[in-house]
Amino acid sequence: MPAERVILLRHGESTWNADGRRQGQLDPPLSAVGRAQASAVAGALAEEEEAIAGIVTSDLARARYTAEACAQRLGRTPEVDARLREMDIGRWAGRLRREVDAAEPELLARIHAGEDLPRGGAECLADLHARVASAVHEHIEACPGGTLLIVSHGGPVRVQVASLLGCEGLDAHAIERPANASRTLLARAEAGRWRLVCHNYPPRPAPNP
């Protein structure tokens, strides 16, 4: 019996998240804040989600540490799947966001306008969607019912939401980028379809007026 619910969990804050540095598929560790976030979300899941039947994680350290913290509290062994990695952003990886913004404003403007161009000369959104969607649907079918916890990254969370809702053509920018250690929950609805229950929980703090 496949999973009936899916929790998409973004990893805790990494040292490069704290620095404002683009990560892609490079592998910085969690910061002290990120480790605390991983511990907190693991505790919350242990209290709230008794029906978690499986855990799968990206192989990158920031996701894997977050998944392992959850697994210890839930009494599960996480399965590692490299298809759940963040988007490969090529030459942008490791650079400060402001540096990339200043160096390639025309390319970024085209991407933000809806063109699906390779990020940093590497993957485009369609590439990310294809590999992440194949992994997600495979793990959902293999899960023995209950809830499947998937630990990954901001980009993969967005395309997982689009894929499960059947919105393959949806630009990921239309979905709010999940905060570190936030959860997105989807549940099966009628006719085998999926319903978005909540996204980016706990939500980001409201901006100052």
For residues 57, 62, 68, 74, the Cα torsion angle rounded to the nearest 10 degrees is -80
Out of 13, 86, 123, 153, the active site residue is 86
User: How many Å apart are CA 167 and CA 202, to the nearest integer?
Assistant: 24
Catalytic site residue 86?
Answer: yes
Tell me what percent of the chain is helix, strand and coil, each rounded to the nearest 5: 45, 20, 35
Residue 75 neighbours by CB distance under 10 Å: 8
CA distances from 135 to 22, 42, 125 (A): 24, 23, 16
CB 117 within 8 A of CB 89: no
Four-residue CA torsion sign, 200, 184, 178, 67 = positive
Structure token digits, residue 99: 């540096």
Q: Is 4 one of the catalytic residues?
A: no
Catalytic residue numbers, as ranges: 11, 86
